[in-house]
Structure 1
Amino acid sequence: MHFDGPWSSYASLTRIIGSVVDVWPQHQSKLARDFSLYGDRDRAMLDSIAADILSALGGDVREAAGDYRWTCSRMLDAEMRFRRDGSSANASVDDLLSGIYGSKDDTKRYMNGLLLSQILWPQHAGPLLYFRSEYLASVLPGAVHLEIGPGHGLWMAGILQRDSSAQLVGWDITRECLSFTESTFQRLCPDLKPRLEIRDICDNTWHRPSTESEGLFDSVIASQLFEVVSEPKVAALNIHRSLAPSGRTFICSPINVAAPDHLRRWMHEDDLLAVLRSAGLHPTKLLRFGNQPGAQKIGAGYSLVVEAARSNVGETR
Structure 2
Amino acid sequence: MNKPIQILDTIVQPGKKAIINLEVAKLHTASPVNIPIIVEHSKKKGPTLLLLGGVHGDEINGIEIVRKIVRSGLNKPQRGTIICIPVLNIFGFLNFMRELPDGRDLNRSFPGTASGSLASQFAFAFMKHIAPLADIIIDIHTGAAQRNNYPQIRCDFSNPQALELAEVFDAPFIKDSKLIPKSLREAVSKKGKNIILFEGGKANRIDPFILEEGIRGIKRVMHHLDMIDECDDLQRGSTLLKNSKWLRSPLSGMFDLRVLNGSYVEKGTIIGVISDPFGKYERSFKSPMNGYIFAVNESPIVNKGDAIFHIGY
Larger radius of gyration: 2
Fold agreement, TM-score > 0.5: no
Larger relative helix fraction:
1
Tell me the TM-score normalised to structure 1 length.
0.28
